[in-house]
A and B are shown apart, each in its own frame.
Chain A
Amino acid sequence: MTAAAPRPTPGRRRTRRALAIATGLVLAVALVNVLFGGGLATAQEDTGEAADDGLLQRGAQIFGAQCALCHGENGRGLPVDGPDGGPPLIGVGPASVDFMIRTGRMPLDNANERMRHREQQMSDQDRRAVVAYVTSLAPGEGPGIPDIDGWEEADLSRGLELFTTHCAACHGPTAAGIAVGQRDISSNLDIATPLEIAEAIRSGPGVMPAFNDEILPEDDVEAIVAWVRDLRERDSPGGLALGRSGPVSEGFIAWALGLGLLMIVMYLLGEKADEDGDDHGRA
């Protein structure tokens, strides 16, 4: 019986196989870990850096092609001379660049013309690239792209008050837009998205002043955004609101519709009476 060779019992065999499988699994996991896990992490870092580089490169490329003509090499700025030229962009901050491209103001066609709101002139990806590039010229300077996630819960009442104090003088009390100084016209804010409103507040496009977060903390920016949006979306309890440009459009309606309709009535009433006029002696 001593010579009983250790013959694997079915139970043992099962154990060994389980062990093998377990080892295999561990190895596999380890291998995966080694090959892919670390590799994944590295890949992430790599692509991250590569993408950043790529993004910056792409940004530099687009900048060279579309912006340097006016803003100069590396955004150093060029004097306005004929249709070209523009201010230096070093340190203007991401909010300004993002706003300018988002609202289609840049690239400008002609440095002597007013910037105007239009379709974005490049893809979102390209915009991010240019923003990254211009930011990299002076990292950390200028206002960053504001975070306004909470604007939908912001305090409308505060927003109305702040809008009245800081914005109504230029944009009109209903944000319909009016002229400011010579060549500048403040925008009708109906077309601006919440992020654009916040970026405009922080960066101050054109002659509009920039409001930093000492004057308007984040909560206040959100409140203003909420009020500007509310102005556009609130139902008007009084009926049709034509253009909301205040007394100007009201005067027009009063003449054209009010007195206009009454003139027609007068004309019809008078004409009819004309047919059977009688002669009466003047007493």
Chain B
Amino acid sequence: MTTTDEPRHRSALDDVARWLDDRLRLAEGSRRYWRKAFPAHWSFLIGEVALFSLVVLLFTGTFLAFFYVPDTRLVVYDGPYVPLQGQEISAAFDSTLRLSFEVRGGLVMRQIHHWAALVFVAAITVHMLRVFFTGAFRRPRELNWVIGVLLLLLAFGAGFTGYSLPDDLLSGTGLRIGYSVLLGIPFVGPLIGFIGLGGEYPGTDVLGRLHILHVMLLPAGLIGLVTAHLVILVRQKHTQKPSRKATNDNVVGEPLFPHQTLTSLALFAFTIAVLALLGGLFEINPVWLYGPYEPFQVFAPAQPDWYMGWLEGMLRLWPNWEFTVLGLTIPSTFLPGVILPGLIFTVVGAWPWIDARWITKDHDEHHLLQRPRDVPLRTGIGVGGLVFLLSIFIAGGNDVLASNTSTGLQTITAILRVATIAVPFLIGWIAYRMARGLKENELAVTAADPTRTEPASGPPR
């Protein structure tokens, strides 16, 4: 570290900083922020990876938007990809092929964009799990949790709309599944469908609508909510892991500048590097192999991107039940495609209140994190829920599973149905017992030897 009496080397950057500071008095107000402490534990960096992937998505997405044409009108393909030459394909698919084969760097941008989308949602998920299992959502951070759940929904939306844009066989199929779920919503479904497609299925405007959503509304929503998320974070400061130094009344960690800034910059660089590595080395969504979407093509099981897998799995597991309520036929996609996901998101969104009311019965402010063992019931429910999502996620690939294990599709589906109901309870219960065991053990040890540090959660304040 440089000390103040060392002769300072004045760079151009210093001059600029000085000039700005003379006029805007930045240093005064920002000194406090520069010294703002960041907790050092690595799990606090996952949120940043999500943030940086989003930045990569915005940049690569903007590049793609220069070339993509959201138009279903048919054109004759005359590009360099031989197997499609002379075929009539939509202008959208044509522009995606042009991006892939003719635009310099286009393919690698498409691939980075798609890999970044997958890693983005994965990072958010792990971030959310970190927050959940450490109780970081407790008062006063309920608001940030709710904003987080909204961010997750927007990310799903962005992924789904983006996946549908290239207008290839797979994306068209995903779109059709989404559309049929939408139509199944009583009363409003057909109306929304009509507006979305600009007419009867398959519609002419659908790509235009999706495009606006994907490149304008959803990114704007994401940017806005992430900003709110981070502003709230700065106001409330981080939670931290309890330790000898860290208590509920202080923040222990790295000062924002230079330590945390360097860490974050390094992480940003690594995030870009990993995404570029994936985009440059691994093929993703080779739409030219899938061929163009044909609206009335029966194209059986198509997998969506992973983060949609659990929705797809729910549709596949749900029995083909239709019933009539008040003269209205409720199609079999309505419950698994709309009601259940809605229910899941509601419970997740309301979790901070559910947790305080029924699980910890604790409405106080907390700035210290818990370990999963400190609240066995929450941990058990969380693990059970995770296993549930995992098994319906697996069901989303039941055909791939069946073909890889050489087992019949119906057998696999039957096994998964039972597993989806039974296994989450079982594993959740095991997790609960384990957490309790660990906690009791620890209490016993502390009681026997008072010099040991007290259990991490400490007495509730």
From residue B131, how far is it (CB to closest CB) to chain A in Å?
A: 15
- Which of B170, B271, B303 gathers most chain A CB within 10 Å? B303
Q: Which residue of B lies closest to A241 (CB)?
A: B283
Are the CB atoms of B119 and A239 closer together than 8 Å? Answer: no
B309: which A residues are within 8 A, CB to CB?
247, 251
Q: CB within 8 A of A251: which of B118, B266, B280?
A: B118
Q: Is A1 an interface residue (CB 8 A)?
A: no
CB neighbours of A273 from chain B (8 A): 40, 254, 259-260, 263
* B429 contacts chain A at the CB level, 8 A cutoff: no
Q: In residues 289-309 of chain B, which contact A (Cβ within 8 Å)?
A: 289-292, 294, 297-306, 309
Contact of A280 among B44, B253, B367 (CB under 8 A): B253
Interface membership of chain A positions 226-239, coded 1 if the CB is closer than 8 angstroms to chain B and 0 otherwise: 01001100001111
The yes or no answer to A267 lying at the interface (CB within 8 A) is: yes
| Neighbour of A164 across the interface among B169, B280, B398, CB < 8 A | B169
Assess the B255–A278 pair: CB atoms within 8 A: yes
Closest chain A residue to B44, Cβ basis: A270
Instruction: Tell whether, in the assembled complex, residue B270 and residue A179 are in contact, meaning their CB atoms are under 8 Å apart.
Output: no
Expressed in whole angstroms, the Cα–Cα distance for A184 and B291 within the complex equals: 25
Contacting residues, chain A, for B111 (C-beta < 8 A) = 238-239
B306 to chain A minimum Cβ distance, whole angstroms, is 3
Query: Known interface pairs A236-B283, A266-B46. Does A179 touch B398 (Cβ–Cβ under 8 Å)?
Result: yes
Is there an interface contact between A262 and B118, defined as CB atoms closer than 8 Å? no
The answer to the question of B59 belonging to the interface, with a C-beta cut-off of 8 Å to chain A, is no
Nearest CB of B to A189, in Å: 13
Contact of B83 with A169 in the complex, beta carbons under 8 Å: no
A259 to B406, CA, bound (A): 30
- Say yes or no: B278 contacts A257, CB within 8 Å: yes
* Distance from A190 Cβ to chain B, minimum over Cβ atoms (Å): 13
Tell me if A77 is interfacial: C-beta within 8 Å of chain B.
no
CB closest chain-A residue, reference B249:
A282
| Chain B positions 363-382 with a Cβ under 8 Å from a chain A Cβ | 367
Q: Flag if B281 contacts A254 (CB, 8 Å).
A: no
For B245, list chain A residues within 8 Å (CB). 277, 279
> Which residues of B lie under 8 Å from residue A242 when comparing CB positions?
282-283
Q: Is the CB of B170 within 8 A of A239?
A: no
* Smallest CB separation, A165 vs chain B (Å): 7
Q: From A114, A236, A241, A267, give the contact of B42 (CB < 8 A).
A: A267
Chain B: residues with Cβ within 8 Å of the partner, total of 85
C-alpha gap A251/B82 in the complex (Å)? 29
A69 contacts across to B, CB distance below 8 A: none
Residues 263-292 of B, flagged 1 when their CB comes within 8 A of A and 0 if not, give 100110011001100101111111001111
Given contacts A165-B294, A165-B297, A258-B119, contact A279 B250 (CB under 8 A): yes
Complex Cα gap A261–B263 (Å): 16
Any B CB within 8 A of the CB of A65 = no
* A157 at interface by CB-CB < 8 Å: yes
Contacts A157-B83, A278-B254, A280-B253; is A269 near B118 (CB within 8 Å)? no
Q: Is A247 a contact partner of B306 (Cβ separation < 8 A)?
A: yes
Q: Which residue of A lies closest to B174 (CB)?
A: A247
The reply on B341 being an interface residue by CB < 8 A is no
Contacts A258-B278, A259-B122 given; does A160 touch B83 at CB 8 Å: yes
B397 touches A157 (CB 8 A): no
Does A12 make an interface contact (CB < 8 A)?
no
Q: Nearest chain-A residue to B281 (Cβ)?
A: A239
Say whether A149 faces chain B, with CB atoms less than 8 Å apart: no
* Assembly CA distance A48 to B278 (angstroms): 62
Q: In this complex, what residue of A is CB-closest to B307?
A: A251
* Chain A, residue nearest B409 (CB): A179
Known A254-B119, A267-B42; contact A182-B411, beta-carbon cutoff 8 A: yes
Chain B residues with CB below 8 A from A214, complex form: none
What residue of chain A has the Cβ atom nearest to residue B263's Cβ?
A: A269
Q: How many angstroms from the CA of A144 to the CA of B304 in the assembled complex? A: 41
Q: A164-B169, A174-B289, A269-B45 are in contact. Are A239 and B249 (CB under 8 A)?
A: no
Whether the Cβ atoms of A241 and B123 lie closer than 8 Å is no
- Whether B294 lies near A266 (C-beta < 8 A) is no
Nearest CB of B to A215, in Å: 16
B-side contacts of A253, CB under 8 Å: 278, 282
CA distance A179 to B408 in the complex (A): 7
- The verdict on A161 contacting B283 (CB below 8 Å), with A178-B403, A237-B100, A237-B101 known, is no
Q: Of the candidates B249, B253, B397, which one forms a contact with A278 in the assembled complex, judged by CB atoms under 8 Å apart?
A: B253
Known: A238-B100, A277-B252. 11 other contacts (CB 8 A): A156-B82, A168-B291, A173-B169, A173-B170, A173-B299, A179-B398, A237-B283, A246-B170, A247-B285, A250-B284, A270-B41
**20 contacting pairs across A/B (C-beta < 8 A):** A170-B300, A236-B283, A237-B107, A237-B283, A242-B282, A247-B305, A250-B118, A251-B118, A253-B282, A254-B115, A254-B118, A255-B122, A258-B122, A259-B119, A261-B270, A262-B49, A265-B270, A269-B45, A273-B254, A282-B367
B interface, CB within 8 angstroms of A: 32, 35, 37, 40-46, 49, 82-87, 100-101, 107, 111, 114-115, 118-119, 122-123, 126, 169-170, 237, 245, 249-255, 259-260, 263, 266-267, 270-271, 274-275, 278, 280-286, 289-292, 294, 297-306, 309, 367, 397-400, 402-403, 406, 408-412
Q: Which residues of A contact B (CB under 8 A)?
A: 114, 116, 156-157, 159-161, 163-165, 168-170, 173-174, 177-186, 227, 230-231, 236-242, 244-248, 250-251, 253-255, 257-259, 261-263, 265-271, 273-274, 277-283
